[in-house]
Amino acid sequence: MLLIHALNALWKFVPVLIGLAAVGNGLGSALFYLGVGMPVAIGVIRYLTTEYRVTADRVELRRGLLERRTTSAPLDRVRSIDLTATLPHRVLGLTTVVVGTGEAASLGDRISLDALPTPAAGALRTDLLHRAQADAEPADGAGAPASDQAAPARETVARFEPTWLLFSVFTSAGLVAFGAALGAAAYFAELVDVDVELLAEELSVPRVSVATVAGVVVSAGILALALTLGGYLVTNGNFSLTRDSRAWHVHRGLLTTRETSLDLDRLAGVEIGEAAAMRLARGGRLRAIATGLTGAAAGAVDLVPPAPRATVRAAAAAALDTPAPVDAPLRHHGAAARQRRYTRALLAGSPSLAAPAIAVAVGGAPLWTLAAAPALVALLLLLGRDRSRSLGHAWVDGYVVMRSGSLARRRTALAGEHVIGWNLRASWFQRRAGLVTVAATTAGGSGSTEVYDVPTADAERLADQATPGLLAQFRAGS
């Protein structure tokens, strides 16, 4: 444990050490050894002055030498527990435990226990989850002490398979990697002034040089593919989604491993993400809508990374304890909503429609460039059609289900018991069409889940089904 603290402190001083090493012999050498000794001493002091304890109702972390700081949180505020182990941690058999309490704490104020022995970290997680559940349910508190509780048996819901690597190509990271490779190839072509006619006629460069350039471009694409697949493998290798009687557990990571435990009572719903490229590959991803998480952690608990659609839907059904919110047909929003989707798609793409005419009139582009305008119109109409078909909502088995989006389609299922309010808003154009944007507010995820262009009567009916009587008191004349 002491070694990892010294290594962590030393790693932060690497740029300084490189500068000191470049100074040379004499004073530079002395400064270099001083630069090595200081961070090691800081790491040792940090280790010796840090301690934690778990009482009957709180978890506390104390640290600091000159300025003593104590961070404390009630056990009933424990929302999630992360176990993270970098490669050095794994070599030394250590793990970092981060206790998520749902409070917006800074990095210096969060409860992070670094370099615990891996068995002790696992036992601490089991202990904290058990105590938090016991505090939430006092009637069940009788029985064996938390420290004597064995880790409950786990059920595996999803596990990483090598075929999942193919879906990384269709994620935003994969598209960015291919775009970067294409840009690098274009820059290389401009740098060496690649031109087939110039190479073949003016400079009499053999055709093999063009083939060489093409090979460089292909190599760049292969490199981008390798980086995309490698990044997915490093991040999601050894992935598994399991559950027990207390929590969901998400384990992932090939080099740096991370396991997030989410209390079952904090799972308010799920979100199935199906971006346009991912839908072509019949894939998707699954995220949890979890209550009590704030900041970057809010709504960012990935239950399943990009994977086959069947796997994602099966995991969603397991998380909700029913497949109905995942598979049930949704209520469409009607002709007015469909017209707005088409209109908004055409208006958003109107600047692009003028681009071919401007290119011909100003830039001297060939007349056949004008043929791009009808193609763009057809593309925008297809986009409007897809966005219209994506709209839908339903009240199914106690869940508010909403779906919207085209390039980034999302289907959310939020438990009715976690809906704490409704936000029905309408622009001037929506009011004329009798439509509203419906947002179901909740304490989990991003704070609300919404769907666009819902007929007003349908929106009120959905709110009454999920939260009977809540909306009635705000209606005019009630």
Read off the pLDDT band of 186 (50, 70, 90). Answer: low
The mean-pLDDT minimum among 100-114, 203-217, 300-314 falls in: 203-217
User: Which has the closest alpha carbon to 79: 314, 295, 400?
Assistant: 295
User: Which has the closest alpha carbon to 264: 239, 242, 238?
Assistant: 242
CATH code for the structural domain at 1-134:
2.30.29
Q: What is the mean pLDDT of residues 50-61?
A: 82
Supply φ then ψ for residue 78, to 5 degrees: -70, 120
**Percent of the chain clearing pLDDT 90 (strictly above):** 28
Domain boundaries defined on the chain:
1-134, 153-321, 333-388
What CA–CA distances, in Å, run from 146 to 13, 127, 205? 41, 5, 78
What CA–CA distances, in Å, run from 18 to 9, 41, 43, 201? 15, 19, 19, 51
Residue with tokens 């002491």: 2
Write out pLDDT tens, residues 352-392. Answer: 777 777 777 776 777 777 777 788 888 888 988 999 999 99
pLDDT at 414: 93
pLDDT at 142: 41
Read off the pLDDT band of 188 (50, 70, 90). Answer: low
User: Which has the closest alpha carbon to 289: 319, 310, 249?
Assistant: 319
Read off the pLDDT band of 147 (50, 70, 90). Answer: very low
- Residue 39: what residue type? P
User: Does the pTM of the predicted model rise above 0.85?
Assistant: no
Nearest-angstrom CA–CA distance, 214 and 209? 9
pLDDT at 428: 92
